Structure 1
Amino acid sequence: MGEPVLNHGFTEEAAGQGDDFASYLLETLPTALVLTSPDTSIQYVNSALQQITQFTSNELSGCLAPYPWACPDVPDTTLKDQEKALDNGTVTTEKVICRKNGTRCWIEQTITPVNRGSDTGYFLQSWVDITKRKEAERLLGRRTKELQWQSAINKEASRTALSLDDTLQRLVILLHRALPHPENMCARMIVNNREFSTPNFKETPWHYAWSITLRGVNIGRIEVNYLQEPSTAEEKVVSREERFLIDIVASRVAEIVERMQASDIFQILAHSSLVGVYVERDGKFLFVNPQVLKYTGYSEDELLGTNTLDIVYPADRAQVRQNTVSMLKGQLSAPYECRVVRKDGQIRWILEKTTSIIYEGKRAVLGYLMDNTERKELEWDVAKYKELDQMKRNLLSTVSHELRTPLSNIKGYANMLIDYEQKLNDQQRREFVKGIDKDTDRLTDFVNDLLNLSRLEAGLLSVEKKLYSISSLLREVVDEASIRWSSHHIKLKITRSLPRVNIDPGRIRQVLDNLIDNACKYSAHNTEVVVSGRKTGSELHIGIHDQGIGIPAGDLEKVFDPMYRIDREHIRKVPGIGLGLSVCKGLVDAHNGHIWFESEVGKGSTCWFTLPLDEAKASGTG
């Protein structure tokens, strides 16, 4: 039986050592060998093949295909494989065989023709047991399939645009598709007494059920039914893959229900909250409660999907953006204030607090808003009252000083005139009377400033406008000031064609006198004070320039506040209570003009004010 193989299957060296040595080599080879004739009859099998199949050589000798190891449900292809081997020289295939004990294994079979003379006398089959490799491939494929279905289930469960019912219905359909025999199986899911099933579902005696629990509480079950009785014992047992997928679905259903419950609770709390609540992701509104709509004046449709910074006051947007970034980095947890612009344009103060949350399965920002406008206004009122109280204290202190000094002077001059009348000559008496007159004027100016300021703040100061030559008024004011301030060189620089302007001459004279007096007070003797006027567009610009000490940049706006005086030693020595510039501003405002300072410390200042020109009336010049 083995002679043809021995004569033609070995090298010359092996053949020369005799049949016994060749048989020994064949029997000790780890590779299973089968020698068949062209009619498929078995001529020889070695020990390795007998170990794989569990059949003895006597049981196999002379057998024709299909061989004893052939599986009844697998077609025999021995003749076809031999024909392919003849055509190609060799053929390799993977086959499943049945051992004598009924178990199956996988082999890799290679068939090679063995020539005897000029004809093919035999076919040599060599087998390699690949059962472990196929099992590894099967496990890998099963794991890959598990992961694919797990990914599909997780993706379906993470959908936030669908309702709970739609999501659960899609999950039960997906589970059915993932089962190993979907054509003979159906599925049903019952959650909180609501049923979701495949279209082919029906109750049968062949079914399995799994509980769905949420925090230890049973909220439903998953059922898998066979439509017909399973035909094999293997089908009757729930596979590990099925248990794995069903466990995943049960777990995801519990997560979805919990998420929906949390969402429902959030909706209830947010809609009943007395503060504004919103959720945003990537800078877009995802949710707003009624209080946010009340604060902003927008409808829900107008806000959802829009940029959250669109309603923030432009100057505050950078701060809000930075606060959100800091919160996400864990660097900011305290509430902060910002302004929002309502739909009607009204600006409201908001106290805001943000935190990071998971909303609809993704990271988002939860914000709380509280309208803080009334509290801010109250704070401003308190600050204003404090400021007014301080102004009152300053006023009382300054007024008492400003009144006491001239009154003391007047009293002193009067006592001197009474007590030393006979001893004083005419020149001395004249000086004392002039001193009384000067301090009386000082008191009069002081009282007039107080009255004018109170009338301006109460809106009771009358302005009687008429068409007047501004050139004439400026000349008169400069001439009078030159006499009043002989210590300074007061000059006028204007063009000859200044238009007539609609003003109250007395009030504008008061402004000019006050500004020229200030320029002289705060500049050294023998320096120039220049009064200028020019037409600029539809306005008349009038300026008073001095060569004095100048005003610091931080005080340029404050000098027009009532009772404000720059806190510098050489300024405090100049008499006054800080009312003159406030009165000037009020009078210029009453003429619809504007007043401001341009200054450089140590070089001087220029106070400008404007008067609007009424072209219909300012046709003449003067």
Structure 2
Amino acid sequence: MSSSLPQILLVDDTVANLQLVSDFLMKAGFNVLAVKSGIQALKIVAITEPDLILLDVVMPEMDGFEVCRRLKAQEETQDIPVIFMTAVADRANPSYKIKGLKLGAVDYISKPIQLEEVLLRVQTHLQLRALTQQLTEQNACLQQEIRVRHQTQQILQETERRWRSLLENVQLLVVGLDWQGDVEYMNPFGLGLTGYTSAEVFGKNWFNTFIPSSEQPQLKQTFHELLYHNSHAYYQNSILTKSGEERLIAWNNTVLRDITGAIAGIMSIGEDITQRQAVERMKNEFISLVSHELRTPLTSMRGSLGLLKMGVYDNQPDKAKRMLDIAVTDCDRLGRLVNDILSLERLDSGQVTLVKEVCDVADLIKHSVEAIDAIAEAAGIAIQVTPLSAQVYVAPDTIIQTLTNLLSNAIKFSESNTTITVGVQHQSDCILFHVTDQGRGIPTEHLERIFGRFQQVDVSDSRQKGGTGLGLAICRSIIQQHGGGIWAESTLGSGSTFYFTLPVYKESVQ
């Protein structure tokens, strides 16, 4: 096609996905061809070569794996980057990933699709392809110039300068290895990522210096096959930095030859995908956790109501009432879970506008304690308040919600006949709140993690204590949006103290 826009071929048998992704990419400045089957995709590629293909795995008639195999079998289409799109269940299956990468795919995107993720990956792989093509073209150009000897030394120097400028300024890891695997070049970005100086790197064996010992045999074999069979142009592996940290790198490799055509080594362009993989893992874990937490009360409700529907307890009214109580309890838990998820998403996405006003700290604590006092009394727990009159500029309902959440947690994890202390301290630049209990305490390794979504010290707590695992995440989001901080300190067997700060009120903040 004559369009100067990058052309993306989108292949998915789900019309909704086609429309959603196609509209988003077109708005982002891409020319998108959207088809619903692998057969249609192959027909399109035979007519016009797209810059990149987004390919669904599971499709009728011809799945994405077969489409990719046919594309990579043809010289005209084998270099087109293919990104598979697959469901979470498929993405979690290692055999799918291995099969796709062996067929020549450059990446995977999990469903449900995050449009921003799709855009970032498309842009990254288009950049990688463009850089690879530039390097290949420049390498061929240099060899041609040497062979024909018609170019002047000045032109050669200028070409070298441009080549170096490209490699040394690109925000990707660029490594040149000779045919033995010794480092001949590493760009400044790569040196910064690994923590080495150029003197420490050049001439060192890549595998012995940068590759974890457990991966060295496989990667040496991959390197050999890349050199002599031109396979494994795209792959991922971990590298070790000077400090011993592991970073996951996605590589795009090009074999280099000298003026006689003999293999000289490889030039590899790598993207650090450590953070992206961590985000993807967190996304998958979040989806799994949400699915599990929603499914658990639904399963219990279905079981209880199913027994009632079948008439199992028609002649046992006490047991029938117990089944209804279970269903109502789980329905309430499900409602709390959904409300907490929605509240957290609105807070984190900035959809909640905090309507702030000048409030007295003592009043905020008073309202919070009154809201929870009946529960504390029923549990045989006393709440002791250390009064302090100070003013803060806050959204009062959200601060009361934070205090109530912390008090509720303290009650849940405290024994009868113990005391919970609520106090406030006036510091130089903030007001420090604390809620202290005499409960079981929290292991040190969990103190930071408990403020994440669905994070609890004991996985059985959500069922035994009635929590959703989102309360502290909501507290953290509220306090951060007020410009404060929140943290916990604890001694196992002696209790825990949760702290949060709010900025000192000044009239100018209004």
TM-score normalised by the chain length of structure 2: 0.47
Which is higher, the Rg of structure 1 or of structure 2?
1
The structure, 1 or 2, with the larger RCO (C-alpha pairs under 8 Å, 6+ apart) is 2
TM-score normalised by the chain length of structure 1: 0.39
